[in-house]
Structure 1
């Protein structure tokens, strides 16, 4: 199967029926695939939290002169992500099974669900098939160690607490999916407030619905974009 320009060696046995339908129809992460391609620049060093099955990871890896470190708390999906990357001869991605959070390392419980995009650290989110303990790593230390300048994440609601506590020194763009069904509009407000306090602005040129880009803003006027007509 070819999806968003990449080879996808995934079978119906690998994912739930609802995810398989999204893959076959081409709807799976379609907006994100367009937006991350436009958002990346040569030389970017990307930290991705929530690799899923590696579709967006591999799409990003096709950009020129980009290095990516991608993590997921679900061991099944990180194995699939590695398979997808290998099928596309991707050599500029380092995958890791784990959890990266703001603050000192701590132990968390991750709840695995059949529809992997519903897996999360929120027990109350719904029925789950299993749970695993994970010891987190500190995001600031990882950013500094690897000179990360772009943060990409789809982490099922955990973005609210992470962005509320993270400093994000060295980061100039943050692309994420919002999950208002988990924290309501008050959670959206918290995220926008936290990002503004750190010098980031909502970037309308590469945002669509819940998929949002925040860019560091110094008040400089931007060139006119014909897409705005």
Structure 2
């Protein structure tokens, strides 16, 4: 990661941002290179040529841009915060990325409904949970049915960082056609019981925890291809 008064680069992605665009906490993580470092490492190994990806919770688009560098992938990216969607589009443009469609919106399982979304200065704390802490603004957003979207767009990879909403979403969605799910767990919001619920749900849906492509709370669930992996200490 390098930074000057004119440029900021993190995980190989150019960021045309200033300290005024984000909170001081997030700006510090950007200039030190710690911002989404685990996610960036795993995202480089996550995708294969031709993957069709739905990303929920794009933030400022850093992980989106990392994923978009995989040859032949197509990404649909959603975030409920209109400010971060605008920043993510700026980041994509600065890096010449044309295989991502950024959208302002929400995905849920079941019938579409209108939801309250609480926007916080540290945008990675923005969520549908009022109880998560003080917020700067609250907006109302209609949701889309995630299963309809997955089937209609032939999505085979789902990427999520949605501040605790993954527990309910994964517990209710069918996830037809999806081969890999990469997400960040938020045990500070739903405890170890919530983590257990997610692992149980993934098992019921036919997904297996992939230890070689997971790191701490950033975990990958994948369909079992039946192939026994060779021993590789560097992957463990």
Pair 228,42 (structure 1): closer, same or farther in 2 beyond 3 Å: closer
Q: What residue number does 1:102 align with?
A: 109
**Which 10-residue stretch deviates more, 210-219 or 58-67?**
210-219
Unaligned runs of 5+ in 2: 1-7
From 199, 221, 226, the counterpart of 2:228? 221
What are the within-5 Å matches in structure 2 for residues 72-221 of structure 1? 72-221=79-228
Aligned length: 229
In 1, Cα distance between equivalents of 2:106 and 2:24:
27
Kindly state the Cα deviation for residue 225 of structure 1 after the two structures are TM-superposed. 2.4
Unaligned runs of 5+ in 1: none
**Aligned structure 1 segments of 4 or more residues deviating by more than 3 angstroms:** none
In 1, Cα distance between equivalents of 2:75 and 2:32:
27
How does the TM-score come out when normalised to structure 2?
0.95
Is 2:61 aligned against 1:45? no
Kindly state the Cα deviation for residue 220 of structure 1 after the two structures are TM-superposed. 3.2
**Aligned partner of residue 60 in structure 2, secondary structure:** coil
How does the TM-score come out when normalised to structure 1?
0.98
Kindly state the Cα deviation for residue 227 of structure 1 after the two structures are TM-superposed. 1.5
In 2, Cα distance between equivalents of 1:9 and 1:62:
18
RMSD: 1.0
